[in-house]
Amino acid sequence: MTTRTAFGDVAILVPAAGMGVRLGPGQPKALRELAGEALLVHAVRNLAAAPSTGLIVIAAPADDVDLVRDLLARFDVVVVAGGATRQESVACALAAVPLDFDLVLVHDAARCLAPPELVESVAAALRAGSQAVIPVLPVADTIKRVDDAETVVETVDRSVLRAVQTPQGFRRDVLAAAHASAAAQHTDDAGMVEAMGVRVTAVPGDDRALKITRPFDLAVAAAVLASVPAAPDTPPASADSPNPPSPANPPSPASSPSAPES
Ligand code: CTP
Ligand code: MG
C-alpha cells in the first residue's frame, strides 16, 4: 500500500536490508532479537509513535520481504526489497514514497531505540525551513589521527566534531536529487546532500539512538530498554488525531549535548 492514509506529513524510510556481519553469524541484523522482538519491530514501534509520521517504508533484505511484512503486520507500513548497499536500499524505499510527501526522514533499523521525540525534533527543523537535518552528539573520546604504522600524527580538536545519528531529515526534492546525482557510496544520506553543496543543519541527538553494530551494542541496547519504557504499539497518527503536529504544537526537545568532558 503506498497511498497516504495517515495525518502525519513525514515519510520515514527505514534501511533494514543489511546483513549485520559485525554482529556475528545469524539472521540479517534487523531481524535479530532484542528483549524477544526483532530490532526492526522496536524501530517501527518507536517511529510509528511519533505524531509527524505519515508513512513508513521499510527496505528489507530481498529474501525476507514476505517475512518482514508478516513481522510488521500490526503496523501500517510499506515493505520493499532493499539493495546491495545502504544507499541503494534508501533509494529503493524513496521510490515507494507518494509524491505528496515533501518531508522525508531516513532512519537506520539498527538504531532501533531512537525515541519518537527525535523524529519530532528533526521534522520540526525541516518545517522551520532547513533543507537537511541531522541529529548529533558531542564526541566524548579524545580523537587522534594516526598514520599507516599506527603512529599518532596529531590530536584532533574534538570540540568541533560531532557523532552523527539518524533519523536524518530532508526536503524530499533534496534527497531525491542527491540520490540521482550520487557518484560514490556514502555512509549516510547527509553526506550525499553535503556533496551537492546543500546546507545541513545539526540538532541535538539522543543517546537512545545508538547504532547496534557489534554484540556489545546489543547488550547496551538491552540495558537501555530495561531502564526506559518502550513506546506503545501505535499506527501513524490518523487524520482525526487530537494532537496533530503543527508549529503551535511543538515536539518535546531531544536531550541537549553537554560540554565535552575529559
Ligand atoms: N542497510 C541496508 N541495506 C544494505 C546495507 C545496510 O538497508 N545493503 C541498513 C542496515 O540494515 C542498517 C543500516 O543500513 O539498518 C546501517 O547499516 P549497518 O549498521 O552497517 O548494518 P549492516 O550493514 O547490517 O551491518 P554490517 O555492516 O555489520 O554487515
Ligand atoms: Mg553495513
Q: Which of 86, 87, 94, 179 to mutate to test the pocket of ligand 1 (most atoms within 8 A of CB)?
A: 86
Answer yes or no: are the C-beta atoms of 68 and 248 closer than 8 Å. no
Note the pTM of the prediction, 2 decimals.
0.88
pLDDT at residue number 27: 97
Closest to 167 measured CA to CA, from 246, 256, 53 = 53
Task: Give the chain's length.
Answer: 262
pLDDT at residue number 262: 53
Q: Is the CB of 61 under 6 A from ligand 1?
A: no
- Going residue by residue through the chain, which has 262 residues, state the pLDDT in tens, using 9 for 90 and above: 444 445 799 999 999 999 999 999 999 999 999 999 999 999 999 999 999 999 999 999 999 999 999 999 999 999 999 999 999 999 999 999 999 999 999 999 999 999 999 999 999 999 999 999 999 999 999 999 999 999 999 999 999 999 999 999 999 999 999 999 888 888 899 999 999 999 999 999 999 999 999 999 999 999 999 997 667 776 554 444 444 434 333 344 444 444 445 5
SS (H, E, C) the chain: CCCCCCCCCEEEEEECCCCCHHHCCCCCHHHCEECCEEHHHHHHHHHHCCCCEEEEEEEECHHHHHHHHHHCCCCCEEEEECCCCHHHHHHHHHCCCCCCCCEEEECCCCCCCCCHHHHHHHHHHHHCCCCEEEEEEECCCCEEEECCCCCEEEEECHHHCEEECCCEEEEHHHHHHHHHHCCCCCCCHHHHHHHCCCCCEEEECCHHHCCCCCHHHHHHHHHHHHHCCCCCCCCCCCCCCCCCCECCECCCCCCCCCCCCC
Q: Is the CB of 21 under 6 A from ligand 1?
A: yes
pLDDT at residue number 177: 96
What distance in Å separates the CA atoms of residue 131 and residue 99, rounded to the nearest whole number? Answer: 17
pLDDT at residue number 240: 45
Which atom of ligand 1 is closest in space to residue 15's alpha carbon?
A: 7
Gap from CA of 19 to ligand 1 centroid (Å)? 6
Which atom of ligand 1 is closest in space to residue 19's alpha carbon?
A: 24
Task: Count CB neighbours of 71 within 10 A.
Answer: 21
